Structure 1
Amino acid sequence: MREASTELLVELPPDSNVTDLLVEQGATNPMHALYARRGSNGWTDIPAQKFLQDVSALAKGLIAGGLEPGDTVAVMSATRYEWTLVDFAIWFAGGVTVPVYETSSPGQVEWILHDSGARRVFAEDNEKVELVRHILDTSAFLKDRLVNVVRMDDDGEAPNLASLAAAGTGVTDAELERHRSAAGLDDVASLVYTSGTTGKPKGCEITHGNFALVAVNMVAFLPELLRQDHARTLMFLPLAHVLARAVQVVCLSAGTTLGHTASAAQLLEDVQTFKPTFLLVVPRVFEKMRAGSARQAAAAGRAGAFGSASSAAVQYSREQDLAARGEGAGPGVLSRVRHAVFDRLVYPKLRQALGGQVHYTVSGASPLHQDDAHFFRGAGIPVLEGYGLTETTAPCTVNTPTRTRVGSVGIPVPGTTIRVAEDGEILVKGIGVFRGYHANEAANAKAFVNGFFRTGDLGELDAEGFLTVTGRKKDLLVTAGGKNVAPGPLEEKIREHSLVSHAVVVGDGKPFVSALVTLDPDGLESWCREHKLPALTLADAAADPKVRAAIQDAVNSANALVSKAESVRSFSVLTAQFTLESGHLTPSLKLRRAAVVRDFEGEIARLYG
């Protein structure tokens, strides 16, 4: 059993709560832009003083409507400025925020409203207002519950934010302060439901201390990101995801100007005008950026030059990493010369694609492939990979600018201890670990051991405290021959191929290991052009011998990583895509493995004759 810890850097009074971070910003720097809001004429700064006033007005409206400290309030919306505004208003009124993914099915919404006991719902627009009302009218659990629904945009007939604020004009500042200060660090600030990759979502009780202590300690831990002059970042992850909420509170504590954008596609457009200094990005965005740059270079007849620039970036970063491990002297002369050439000709275009001002990126939510991390670091866009779960208020380990080990998810954040059990399971104890699952004592009994939260992930700790995640206990396959197979490394290697969008390794209880592969439409178009083939549809490509031969090459590369008993013996190229809408990806773009295995049961059966 190995263990690593980082000492707490900042403590907070036990009777304080997350709202004190906003009060402090309003008092110390009232005209500083805490937020920026995108409109038809560009980005408009929202000073701390203005944000505090608007939060207070909405909170008074909630209090006037009867909200008492500890009451739960649901929020169903895509990422937008109003989400943040409403979140803090709920906290100022003494309430508990219950995030609902805006892509949630009616059944999921019904369960969360029922389980959380929410009697108030903020819904983004008319469509979501009607969805919530329909659920309330038809649900056997909710039809007799009085629930107020407030619309967050300005269209339609439902009560909106302006009318809510107007309703609170009679509430005194003293009454608002009584509600705002009612909670302490140990009280629940948010009931965050797991994404439900398996089973029914469980409500995680995230406390004020979880949010606030993680925030102030991350500011002290990552000053290179958060204490820069004019630090700015864009948030595109769903705010229903705890990582996005935690980062939002971190930015508030640091005074980092935060903008909102609703999707990864919109992110790459908005960075051009917002010009962030750091970004929180999921691995799929890095993969798309790199593949898109390669396709653009190929279309312009510069595939060879981009390939050389890519290999130079990866080599330069790998040599830096070896030096950090004490296994080398750093990039050699030839490596430095090649890197310097491409740093004038190629890499600036990549940096400009992120607005030209990004000094660091932080990767989370799912594993990042090492080659991508080396590529972007070598191109001048350092990637700091981290690790966490909903139950740990997300960040429990992270690489830092001064302590980075590519391939690992970093060292424990302040106030956190990471332990790897004898069976390889990662255990966590610290300031971010949640209070427990809401109204679910059976789940709580299984979730903790000797004060540590059992993550269900498998990992390794090195002598310097860097954690590497090697898989998930539930994902381990056991073949009919009794061989344990971790699918993650195989899937990551197969996905390196430009043709591949997703790979799912299967074989639990089967005589050998197989894989389901989906094709990347953009990658397919570029591959056909590169190989001087006519354009292929996904259906045609799935059966094309040349495409299948290319996928076999990717499978062979993956098989080189493992023993013969663990190797992928057969594969199927699917004509479908794994998407959020199909139910095969979570809102944070993690694969719902159980859903894939269920929905493609017939295809898996054919792989085994």
Structure 2
Amino acid sequence: MVAAGDGFLRRAEGWGDEIEETINVSLDAEKLPAVPAGEGRGLFLEDLDDDHPVAWIFTSGTSGDMAKCTEISLSNMDAAIENIRNLDFLVEGMVAHCPLSASHIFAFVVMTAFISLKPRRVLLSDVQYLARLPQKKTGKIDAIILVPIVISRMRSLFYERLCADFSVEKVPPGLEKLARLPLGLRVFLKRLCRRAEEAVIALEAGRLAGWLCLPLILLARILFGRMVRQRMGSPSFMVLGGARPNLQAMAFFEVMGIRVLQGWGMTETTGPVCVSTLSDRRSGALGTCGRLFPGTTARIDGEELVVEGTQIAKGYVEPDGTLAPFNGLQRTGDRAAFDHRGRLKVFGKVSDRITTDNGLNYLPLPMEDDLKAADLKKLNILEEVVVIGDARPRLGCVYFLREGVQKTAAREEYLGGLIREFNASRPVDQQLGPWTVSARGLKESGGLGPSGKLVRRRIEEQYGVLYADAGD
């Protein structure tokens, strides 16, 4: 038996005697079963027990250890689907694009819930081909699901092309009009867009940021918004999950006219247990994950987020087939807090904290963000910066260059200058010592997990030789 979508149905039927039966799995609204949108259990057999396992999902998270198998029950899925369906931005007849792997918990649960709402169309693709799927190929879409690293890369690519020297580079298709503008003017427009990002962040935080805020945002949107939106199918909004997003990258897409919503969840919580909403604006919502779904409670234990509720999966399936139960509670490993409106804000992993061998503790994310922001103002050649130094005499740094950027002596000198500028404003114990430029990309170095999260421990292990070379 073979299950085939509409696009492959004719080919599958042509296989003849090689298969016994062909089943058409269609997302065409006219072919979907006549199940009312409110009946979530229409997705599963009616006689299943609440405890029945309906999904096993393998995930390695950010630990780099052997993949764990999480068992999700019918009651977990029912709760997750019901909560997602009640979000204010999901309605029947929408068109959604999900370029994430089906094993990504956000993709798995959100798409399952979305299909139960009878969408007009769902596009399932691969994030590495996202650039090949502009609106002229996908048609107009309403929503897209992404992970933070993708929007950071898209923002960096936009600024790279905006300031490219087209006198020595081939003009990419669709950028002919942009290439006619003088380079000096395009550099000025980059500064304008960056100012517009800061204006969005200020407005969303409820701060006064001068009378130029709205004109800057409007001008940047008029100049570039349509081009950026059409590259993605002109979605009205995007939903981010899987890691902590960069606030400036979120603001960039807000400037361009795409509402950016952030959710938080894990495989162990059957996907998102909170997502910000379209109606929550200009009150500090940007950069938060919204309020917890009904049926979920949470507390902060020290710095760590601890979650309980109906969406907590049954447990881990061990290699011998036994179940290590969660008993309705999950220690997430995430550093988090709740704001005065009850919205969740996640800062990173508890395990990200670096403790040098003199007992001093550091949070690497703000340092990494500062270095990436400094590069974006200048050459914009960095994909990622990873601060290391756990159990070492001092902090260090590994640079990862963007795809297509070659490692040269001049660029190494430039990156060394970023370190010197960074250190100049900090006390000695907060300065970066040994550093290097990786010869491989972040993914090729094993620094990215399956869901796009940074696997910091692998970078620490691979580049610990820095300290030996530096004599530390």
When normalised by structure 2's length, the TM-score is 0.79
Of 289, 296, 299, which residue of structure 1 is paired with 2:161? 296
Partners of 1:251 and 1:257 within 8 A in 2: no
> Map of 1:391-406 to 2, 5 A cutoff?
391-404=268-281, 405-406=285-286
Of 44, 47, 60, which residue of structure 2 is paired with 1:195? 60
Matched, 1:418 2:298: yes
Matched with 1:270 is 133
Partners of 2:434 and 2:467 within 8 A in 1: no
Q: Distance in 1 between matches of 2:410 and 2:343?
A: 41
Matched, 1:287 2:152: yes
Matched with 2:287 is 407
- Listed one character per residue, the Cα deviations across residues 95-134 of structure 1 (whole Å, up to 9, x for unaligned) are xxxxxxxxxxxxxxxxxxxxxxxxxxxxxxxxxxxxxxxx
More helix by proportion, 1 or 2?
1
Q: Which amino acid aligns with 1:493?
A: D
> Map of 1:33-112 to 2, 5 A cutoff?
none
Residues 595-604 or 409-418, more deviating: 595-604
Deviation at 1:213, TM superposition (A): 2.1
Deviation at 1:263, TM superposition (A): 2.1
Q: Distance in 2 between matches of 1:154 and 1:251?
A: 27
Deviation at 1:388, TM superposition (A): 1.2
Partners of 1:281 and 1:361 within 8 A in 2: yes
Partners of 1:317 and 1:378 within 8 A in 2: yes
Deviation at 1:588, TM superposition (A): 1.7
> Map of 1:550-565 to 2, 5 A cutoff?
550=418, 552-553=420-421, 555-556=422-423, 565=429
- Listed one character per residue, the Cα deviations across residues 28-62 of structure 1 (whole Å, up to 9, x for unaligned) are xxxxxxxxxxxxxxxxxxxxxxxxxxxxx769xxx
Deviation at 1:413, TM superposition (A): 2.4
Partners of 2:398 and 2:437 within 8 A in 1: yes
Partners of 1:216 and 1:253 within 8 A in 2: no
Of 76, 90, 99, which residue of structure 2 is paired with 1:210? 76
Of 217, 222, 241, which residue of structure 2 is paired with 1:364? 241
Residues 338 and 495 of structure 1, relative CA distance in 2, 3 Å threshold? closer
Q: Distance in 2 between matches of 1:206 and 1:270?
A: 33
User: What secondary structure is seen at the aligned counterpart in 2 of 1:469?
Assistant: strand
Of 109, 120, 126, which residue of structure 2 is paired with 1:246? 109
Q: Distance in 1 between matches of 2:351 and 2:5?
A: 37
Deviation at 1:475, TM superposition (A): 2.5
Matched, 1:353 2:353: no
Matched with 1:185 is 50
Identity %: 24
Q: Distance in 1 between matches of 2:469 and 2:5?
A: 48
Matched, 1:549 2:390: no
Matched with 1:227 is 91
> Map of 1:392-541 to 2, 5 A cutoff?
392-404=269-281, 405-421=285-301, 423-439=302-318, 444=324, 451-496=328-373, 497=375, 498-522=380-404, 524=405, 537-538=406-407, 540-541=408-409
User: What secondary structure is seen at the aligned counterpart in 2 of 1:355?
Assistant: coil
Q: Which runs of 5+ in 2 are unaligned?
A: 24-41, 165-178
Q: Distance in 2 between matches of 1:208 and 1:238?
A: 22
Partners of 2:303 and 2:336 within 8 A in 1: yes
Deviation at 1:81, TM superposition (A): 5.7
Q: What is the root-mean-square deviation of aligned Cα atoms in Å?
A: 3.4
Residues 513 and 547 of structure 1, relative CA distance in 2, 3 Å threshold? closer
Q: Which amino acid aligns with 2:391?
A: G
Deviation at 1:370, TM superposition (A): 0.9
Q: Which amino acid aligns with 1:427?
A: V
Q: Please identify runs of 4+ aligned residues in structure 1 that moved more than 3 A.
A: 162-166, 179-182, 257-262, 439-445, 541-544, 550-553, 563-567
Matched with 1:110 is none
Q: Distance in 2 between matches of 1:333 and 1:601?
A: 49
Deviation at 1:436, TM superposition (A): 1.0
Matched with 2:215 is 337
Q: Which amino acid aligns with 2:196?
A: A
Of 255, 263, 267, which residue of structure 2 is paired with 1:390? 267
Q: Distance in 1 between matches of 2:154 and 2:356?
A: 36
Partners of 1:251 and 1:258 within 8 A in 2: no
Deviation at 1:476, TM superposition (A): 2.0
Deviation at 1:305, TM superposition (A): 4.0
Q: Distance in 1 between matches of 2:12 and 2:364?
A: 47
Q: Distance in 2 between matches of 1:372 and 1:566?
A: 26
Deviation at 1:239, TM superposition (A): 0.7
Q: Distance in 1 between matches of 2:463 and 2:323?
A: 29
User: What secondary structure is seen at the aligned counterpart in 1 of 2:205?
Assistant: helix
Q: Which amino acid aligns with 1:246?
A: V
Matched with 1:128 is none
Name the count of aligned residue pairs: 421
User: What secondary structure is seen at the aligned counterpart in 1 of 2:72?
Assistant: strand
Q: Distance in 1 between matches of 2:71 and 2:452?
A: 23
When normalised by structure 1's length, the TM-score is 0.62
User: What secondary structure is seen at the aligned counterpart in 2 of 1:215?
Assistant: helix
Q: Which runs of 5+ in 1 are unaligned?
A: 1-56, 60-79, 86-152, 167-176, 525-536
Partners of 1:506 and 1:514 within 8 A in 2: yes
Q: Which amino acid aligns with 2:300?
A: V
User: What secondary structure is seen at the aligned counterpart in 1 of 2:218?
Assistant: helix
